[in-house]
Structure 1
Amino acid sequence: MSKEAYQHIHMIAIGGSIMHNLALALHRKGLKVTGSDDEIFEPARGRLLADGLLPQEEGWFPEKLHSRPDAVIVGMHARPDNPELLYAQEHQIPIFSFPEFIYEQSKHKQRIVIAGSHGKTSITSIILHVLKYHNRLFDYAVGAQLEGFDLMVKLTEEAPIIVIEGDEYLSSPIQRVPKIHKYHHHIGVISGISWDHINVFPTEENYREQFRIFVDMTPKAGTLIYNQDDEQVQEVCVPNNSDVNYIGYTIHEHKIKKSGKTVLKTKKDDVEIQLFGEHNLRNISAAKEVCKQIGIKGQAFYEALATFKGAARRLEKIGENEHTLVYKDFAHAPSKLKATSEALKKQYPERQLIACLELHTFSSLNKDFLPQYNGTFLSPDVKIVYFNPKTLEHKRMPPLDPKDLKAAFGDDSIEVYTDNQALQDYLLRNNWKDKNLLMMTSGNFGNLDLQQLANTITAS
């Protein structure tokens, strides 16, 4: 069936972050979109409701497929025994994972895939910002809400390229291979490799192998852009195919002004940017190399970059006064924790840094994985780790002992909280003069209102 023949798409687990964005993109493209989910939270709920796509009730209803949609897209939130999925299989309705459907819709485009354990959202975001700034036609799929973009997915007929943030997690409950293997890139990027998703990739070697496969999938006359400072990346990006263009990148040349602003050194003029931190300076170099490959070079890239404010939840400033800054960041993996906390301390060395990390993912709450955090939380002056015991129960994992957690981090000075209100009370009791706060999580600190917290701290 050609892509033009898709008139009705049914989405199983429509409430997911990227899935509901795909649903909205397809709906706005003129397709009929239906879907189901057993739980839908904000902002997905409100956005689906506004476009008339919110399911009337939560749950799974095979009868929704009795009209035989042209295709079913199944999200990772669904289980292999999902009643709607079983119905689609039994009645031979075409089934796609998210990455398979993105590929299906972009077979005739140049596909740029940004992969890696960290940095991929920021690199993708910079590329999209630069393309938009220069009025280029492009499609995209990115894992964060970006300023100036109403959706996280865009699919059109006319765009000649698509930029995809390539997640290494599994494609679907019935297709247990990484998403990055399903996009079939022409230009690939690997930003860094740091073991994650221990529930799926039980060893570092197994995890690293997924990126090796991605590298080997680079086609003839394709381009592989990689972080040459990362030993794990170097191990999989050995230039062993003369038909592939290998491009290594490193930290962009720069200086930090006394005001805390970062300035890039270029061949022409210095360029003041709104990002900071060594990890972001590498992300900029990666994005610059990608943009060069698609015809946006030198000063045109820097001109656009100067107006880029960053991706949501990636070192996002949520509060500020003359002596205090409050940031939140999606950091949760060891490499992200290290890079983010180091960046903020280096940018404002004269201020005390209080940093809070929530352990929320399966890997971060796993006793066997916790030693990976050893030595990654050294930069802050005050180090706090929070976890919600209910999250462990929900994931059917054994309880965590704060003593074991401190031992895994290799730091007895870490303060451990399991009550988010107690954590909030502690933070509000602080005198915040000449102090910065960094809140890091892929969760929400047990539904703590971080914006209200930042507002209260910076109002004092």
Structure 2
Amino acid sequence: MKTHFIAIGGSAMHNLAIALKDKGYQVTGSDDAIFEPSKSRLEKKGIMPQEMGWFPEKITPDIDAVILGMHAHQDNPELARAKELGLKIYSYPEFLYEQSKNKTRVVIAGSHGKTTITSMILHVLNFHQKDVDFMVGAQLEGFDCMVKLTQDNDFMVLEGDEYLSSPIDLRSKFLLYQPNIALMSGIAWDHINVFKTFDDYIDQFRKFVASITPGGVLVYNEEDAEVVKVVENAENYFRKIPYKTPEYEINNGKVYLKTEMGDVPLSVFGAHNLLNMEGARHICQQLGIMDEDFYEAIMSFKGASKRLEKVEREDKGTLYKDFAHAPSKVKAAVKAFAEQFKNDKKYGFLELHTYSSLNPAFLEQYDHAMDGLEEAIVFYSEDALKIKRMEPISPEFIKEKFKNEKLRVFTNAEDLHAYWNTLDKTNGVYLMMSSGNFGGLDLTK
């Protein structure tokens, strides 16, 4: 089968391209910019475009499938050529469904926690050598590629994202998967550039629940009021399995899960991670993994990439980085950090750089998000606001919305880096929250 990727360099798209190459497909692609690690990984597989840009002549009648990434625009010249030739054009999730429509599809959804839960499930299955197809959004230890597609596997585990499918398919990605087994971890308003009201956002999850196949299974977080409302109001037939935060204790900085089989030592911390773990346990039960085997495997789970991930520093200082940028994720990460390091001076850095996080109307969602830290720092770039054509935001406005008078606010990278360099990283513990890089800050030094 011959496939062509428009915007092959994306984090999800390049993984799918590699998975198809490994499956024996003929793969080509284009993009206007490709960065690491996508670049090296595509080069290793021999499918890195020779030059950057869009080339309509690459779109030929013998292509079986064109896969369109979100990074491309509606007026993309390769897309126009594909339409002109009448080729089959898939969004990323649409193509994943096509590859898994004869399998049992397990879809993990939620505003937060879905990447970690998916990673936990895959870690346990991999530990017990249970082979499944999968797609997950973060790099996971022990896995070369974060998409796997085979002819023979019976199950496919999919991280279900509520964002748009492609520039020409404005449905939420997870609405295309039609899960047999699903999980919903939580609902907290996000992507406000697309979902203008909270109800519009919640409606995507209503539709997701409605898309569960008849007689399917939904594992859901009973501690989340919005999730419970969606589940209780669902009109289709499926089996409902609620979960909640399990009992645990912290001894000498180590987290222990309280189970019927005794105390299980863990390599991760934070109540939200243990809640995620409980959801993963219920999904693994559906896949034939007994509790004893689950606990045996989960002890060695060290976390998904950039989810409370410890950074090895040259000075041996204690520093964790987290992908947290949405308010609910920031609050969960800070709470976990404060609980884990009760007796240490805690520094928390948050970078605001997504459209939602820089929207004045949305900033109210961050109220008290940085409480529990001795030093709380927020960084956003005035240049980023200009690029996004957004109105300026004052540091005073940020402090007001965070309801934290002690908050330090930096608006340019040079000042932030200067402050960073004054800190003794061996004195205290550091939590760095961003889906960016704090203006190029090296966290290892």
Same fold (TM over 0.5): yes
Q: 2:327 aligns with which of 325, 334, 339?
A: 334
Q: Which of 65, 78, 84 matches 1:90?
A: 84
Offset of residue 332 of structure 1:
0.3
C-alpha distance in 2 between matches for 1:393 and 1:419: 13
Gaps of 5+ in 1: 1-6
CA shift at 1:269, angstroms?
1.9
Indicate which of 417, 421, 429 corresponds to 2:422.
429
CA distance in 1, matches of 2:100, 2:78: 26
Runs of 5+ consecutive residues of structure 2 not aligned to the other structure: none
Instruction: State the one-letter code of the partner of 1:421.
Output: E
In 1, are the aligned partners of 2:116 and 2:307 still within 8 Å (CA)? yes
Structure 1 residue 390: Cα displacement: 2.4
The count of corresponding residues between Structure 1 and Structure 2 is: 445
Does the 8 Å contact 1:141/1:164 carry over to 2?
A: yes
Is residue 124–residue 297 contact of structure 2 (8 Å, CA) maintained in 1? yes
Matched, 1:181 2:167: no
SS of residue matched to 2:262: coil
Structure 1 residue 296 corresponds to structure 2 residue 289: yes
Provide, for residues 136-161 of structure 1, a one-character-per-residue CA deviation record: whole Å limited to 9, x for no partner. 11010000000000011000011110
What is the CA–CA distance in structure 2 between the aligned matches of 1:72 and 1:262, rounded to whole Å? Answer: 47
2:361 to 365, 368, 379: 368
The Cα offsets for residues 8-48 of structure 1, whole Å up to 9 and x where unpaired, read as 10000000001001111111111111111111111111111
The aligned residue for residue 137 of structure 1 is 131
2:151 corresponding residue in structure 1: 157
CA distance in 1, matches of 2:429, 2:59: 52
The answer to whether the aligner puts 1:221 opposite 2:199 as a matched pair is: no
Deviation at 1:320, TM superposition (A): 6.3
TM-score when scaled to structure 1?
Answer: 0.94
Q: After the TM superposition, which residues 202-213 of structure 1 pair with which residues of structure 2 at under 5 Å, given as runs?
A: 202-213=196-207
1:402 Cα offset (Å): 1.2
- Secondary structure at 1:270's aligned position in 2? strand
Deviation of 1:104 (Å): 0.1
> CA offset at residue 294 of structure 1?
1.1
Alignment of 1:16-31 (within 5 A): 16-31=10-25
The residue aligned with 2:188 is 194
Partner secondary structure for residue 312 of structure 2: strand
1:167 aligns with 2:161: yes
1:87-142 alpha-carbon deviations (Å, 9 max, x no partner): 11121100000000000000111100000000000000000000011111101000
The aligned residue for residue 351 of structure 1 is 344
TM-score (norm. length: structure 2): 0.97
For residues 332-387 of structure 1, give each alpha carbon's deviation from its aligned partner in whole angstroms, at most 9, with x where no partner exists. Answer: 00000000011011011000110000001110011111111112221211111111
2:249 to 247, 251, 255: 255
- Cα distance in 1 between the residues matched to 2:423 and 2:27: 50
Q: CA deviation at 1:322?
A: 10
Structure-1 separation of matches of 2:357 and 2:42: 31
2:262 matched to 1:269?
yes
Shift of 1:389: 2.1
CA-to-aligned-CA distance 1:161-180 (integer Å, 9 cap, x gap): 01111110000000001001
| CA displacement, residues 66-89 of structure 1 (integer Å, 9 cap, x when unaligned) | 253111000000111111111111
Equivalent residue letter for 1:14 = I
User: SS at the partner of 1:105?
Assistant: helix
- Residue correspondence of structure 1 range 233-248 to structure 2 within 5 A: 233-238=227-232, 240-241=234-235, 243-248=237-242
Rounded Cα–Cα distance in structure 1 between residues aligned with 2:276 and 2:346:
24
Mapped partners of 1:279, 1:44: distance in 2: 30
Aligned to 1:278: 271
Q: What SS class does the counterpart of residue 189 from structure 1 fall into?
A: strand
Q: Say what the alpha-carbon RMSD is for the aligned residues.
A: 1.5
3-state SS of paired residue (1:237): helix
Letter in 1 for 2:211: M
Whether 2:121 is the aligned partner of 1:127: answer yes
State percent identity of aligned pairs.
Answer: 50
